[in-house]
Amino acid sequence: MSRTDVPLDTSLDLPAERDALIGSAGRPERRQRGERLMVSKAEFRSYYGRPVLKPPPWQAPDIGGYLFFGGLAGASSTLAAAAELTGRPHLARGLKAGAAVAVAGSLYSLVHDLGRPERFLHMLRVVKVTSPMSIGSWLLTGYGPLALLAAGSAVTGWLPRLGRLGTLGAGVVGPAIATYTATLISDTAVPVWHEAHRELPVVFVGSAAASAGALGLLVAPDSEAGPARRAALLGAVTELATARRMERRLGMVGEPLRRGIGGALLRASRVLTAGGALALTVPGRNRVATRVGAAAMIAGSVCLRFGIFQAGVASARDPKYTVTPQRERLEARGGSRRSRP
């Protein structure tokens, strides 16, 4: 007797029991001619609707702040090094101070989420090149003192040569600090983050450049603000275009980027970033418009990081964002095998 000949009780209400009788893994039943299923084919999601993945245990205020402050710090250091080399002392000093405050905020957010400071030190016991967490921990450990040295020298005027070395060193490491967090969260099983691994680093670097450029516009006089304005505009365009492409490519898996708390934050991010960029293009370099636009772009970067975090958590809680892509990949793999001669 085939599996399809088993008499089925159509009154069963429990999806797990019904799935067990007709093939709960969601695989299509092989039927001989004349046979038919006694109930409609089940659509597998998970056992009793429970999440397939355990949602990340990270706290939104801590990890959202960690993602934002890290991007702002890294991009600010790189922009500060460029300002230092091109003779823009006010812009360089403001960005160095901003980078120091941001990296301190990033480290505080990370350690606070870990619960105990020694847990961060435990991550430095080994260097594992295949682990974004391990490499990121070492990057922060090397970058933090450089950023603090650069800021301290710029603010106090002490040890200018060491301060310059710190500025250049932090500027070199800055791009990695601004983007490694995207690689870190993409290297998890969280559906939205994992599926967005192609675009997410570009989105983060665009957001970091936009926020760092906006910070430069707030702290520097107009005579030195040219590089900051260009960085802010280029970063905003990169962020908006890549984020849009990411949402379209992800399709169904990208639904949490458009719905719920994550979707609301990301919509706010687009409005703030685009509006801020438009304000920076006001003819005549209006100082009020520049400050308003710069503040809006920083707020947009905050919303982006928190929105992506919330969307990832939402995608881990709903089993369909885990199961459906896996089934599609299995079906595609099976189809490619059958098509081979």
Q: Give Cβ neighbours of residue 39 (< 8 Å, ≥ 6 apart).
A: 8, 10, 18, 22
State which of 184, 212, 241 marks the end of a domain: 184
Each residue's pLDDT tens digit, 185-244:
999 999 999 999 999 999 999 999 999 999 999 999 999 999 999 999 999 999 999 999
Do residues 268 and 208 share a domain?
Answer: yes
Among 25-29, 95-99, 120-124, 262-266, name the one with the lowest average pLDDT. 25-29
Please report the pLDDT score of residue 10 as a whole number. Answer: 38
Does residue 259 contact residue 247 with C-beta atoms inside 8 Å? no
Is residue 280, in this structure, part of any structural domain at all? yes
Do residues 258 and 296 share a domain?
Answer: yes
Do residues 291 and 174 share a domain?
Answer: no
Do residues 101 and 178 share a domain?
Answer: yes
Does residue 72 contact residue 95 with C-beta atoms inside 8 Å? no
As a whole number of angstroms, the distance between CA 77 and CA 208 comes to 11
Is residue 286, in this structure, part of any structural domain at all? yes
Please report the pLDDT score of residue 340 as a whole number. Answer: 53
Do residues 157 and 228 share a domain?
Answer: no
Is residue 301, in this structure, part of any structural domain at all? yes
Q: Which range marks the domain in which residue 230 is found?
A: 188-315
Please report the pLDDT score of residue 24 as a whole number. Answer: 41
State which of 184, 204, 224 marks the end of a domain: 184
Each residue's pLDDT tens digit, 120-166:
888 888 888 888 888 989 999 999 999 999 999 999 999 999 999 99
pLDDT surpassing 80 at residue 49: no
Give pTM, 2 decimals.
0.82
Domains identified in the chain, total number: 2
Q: Dihedral of CA 144/150/153/156: which sign? A: negative
Long-range pairs for 197-201 at CB < 8 Å and ≥24 separation? 198/246, 198/249, 199/242, 199/243, 199/245, 199/246, 199/249, 200/246, 200/308
As a whole number of angstroms, the distance between CA 119 and CA 113 comes to 10
